Structure 1
Amino acid sequence: MSGKLIKYRIYCETDSKWEFVWREENQSQPTTCPVDTNHNINSSSVAIVDERSELKVQIQEEKITTGGHFRLEDYTFTCLGNQTTFFEFSIPTPSSVLSYKLVVQPNMGGDEFGGIVGPDTIIGAIGSPVGTSDTTFTVTNTVIENAFLGASCNLFDGTNTDEVGFIIGIDSENSTITVQNTPSNTYSPLTPTYVRIGVKMANDIKLPYLPNGGYMEVGQSKIGASHLPANTITRVRYKNNTSETKECHVLYEYLY
C-alpha cells in the first residue's frame, strides 16, 4: 500500500502563472489546470517539484522536543462591519502550541469566532463518483492513511469546493470515509477531486457579552502542548454582526 504523494508544477496560460497540484504516484501527471479545468495550459511545462511519502496535520501531544523557549505573539487584524474576515498566520520554526486567546472587547458580544489549523491540506482523492446525497464515499490509500476522526473535511475538484463537515467514520477495509454533510455539487474521481482536511480549534463560537471585556481561550484546560511543523497555517475567521468596525487581537502562546 503506497502513501506517496507527488507535487506537480504546471503553467496556466490563461492566468499567465504557475499552478501546483498534488497527485498519488499511481496517478498520471496532470493535464488540466488545477484551479480551473477550462483554462489553457502548457502541457510541456509539467514537472515534479516535491514528493512526500507521509503527510499529516494532526495536532498531537508533543513528541518533537523544542528548545523550550516561551513566546507570546499578538496578531491584530481589522474586521469591517457586517462582514466575515479571514486572517492567517504561521510560525517559521517547529513549535508547541500552549494556547490561543481572542481578546473579547465589550462591543464584540454576538459576533462569531472560528479557527482552523492546517486548512485545505490535501491528503489524497476520491476513488469513485460522489453525489449530492452521499456522506460515505470511496477514497485513495493516502486518505485512509492520513485521515482521522474529527478532521474538518472538504472536497475540491479545481473548480468547486464543498465543506462536508467532520470525518466521523474511516473504513480501511473498504477504503471509505464517512462525513457529516452531503456536498452541494457532484464530484468525479477523473478530475481529480481532492480530499482536504484541517483541524478546527474553534468551531464558529458565538462570543458572549462581556461588559468589562475578557478573553476566549483555546487550549488552557489541555495538559501539555501540541506540536506543529514549521510554517503550518492557522486561519482565523471572525464574523462581525454589527455595522461597527472592530480591531481583533489573537494572542498565540507557544514553545519554540
Structure 2
Amino acid sequence: MARIGIIGSEGRMGQAIAAAIADAGEDFAGGVDKGGDVAALAAQSDVLVDFSSPAALEENLDAAAAAGVPVVIGTTGLEERHHFLIDHAAETIPVLQTGNTSLGVTLLAHLVREAASRLGEDWDIEIVETHHRMKVDAPSGTALLLGEAAARGRGVDLAQDSERGRDGITGKRGTGAIGFAALRGGTVAGDHTVAFLGESERLTLSHMAENRSIFARGAVRACQWILGKPPGRYTMPEVLEL
C-alpha cells in the first residue's frame, strides 16, 4: 500500500482524493492545509498530491525534495515562475504536474493534438469551458492544457497565437489563432469543448465532468504510477502511455 499525503486536504478536491485513496486500497498518510507542517507530512508519505494554491507551491516542492518523495501537482493558476520551480525540483525528485488529472481529459488532449496537426490553419480552433461560480482563474487549467495540445499539434506558440476576452470592436479573427471563452455559474464541475471550425463543416471534441471524483481517481492513479520513477518532470499522458 502506498502512503499518499494530501496538500490541501480540507478543500473539495482534497476530500474527494481522500475518498479515492480509500477506494483504491491505498493508505491515506494524512493531510495539511494553510499553515500546516508540510515537511512533517512529506516525511511520513511515499508520495504527495498537491491541490492547494500557487502561493504555497514553493514551500510544498521544497518539503517534497527534502524528504525525497515524488509529488503530483494538480494546482491550477500557475505562472512561469512556478514552472521554473517545478523544473528545479524535478532535478532531484519525480514531479508530475498537470492542469487536469482526469483520464478522460488526458485522452481528449491527445485527440486535440492529433486533430490540430492534421487540419490546416483554415480550420479555426475555439475552446469553451464552463465551471462553477466559485472558480477564481480563467481560462481554466484544463482549457490551457487543451490549448497547449492544439498549439503543439500546429507547431505554434500558444502565448503568441491565442485570443482571449473578446469585447467590443475587436476586428476579424486572427488566422491560426486559438480562441478561448470562459463561462462561470452554478455548480458545474467542469465542461470543456474544443471546436474545429472549417469551411462548411465543424468538428467538436468534448468532455463533461459530472463531479470531482473523476479528478480524484486520476490523481490517485498518477500517484500510483509515479512511485519508483527517477527524478524528472512527468505528465498525465505518460500515465496512459500516450
The bucket for the TM-score relative to the shorter chain is: under 0.3
Greater RCO (Cα-Cα under 8 Å, separation 6 or more):
1
Structure number with higher helix proportion: 2
Q: TM-score, normalised by structure 1?
A: 0.25
Structure number with higher strand proportion: 1
Q: TM-score, normalised by structure 2?
A: 0.26
Flag the structure with larger Rg: 1
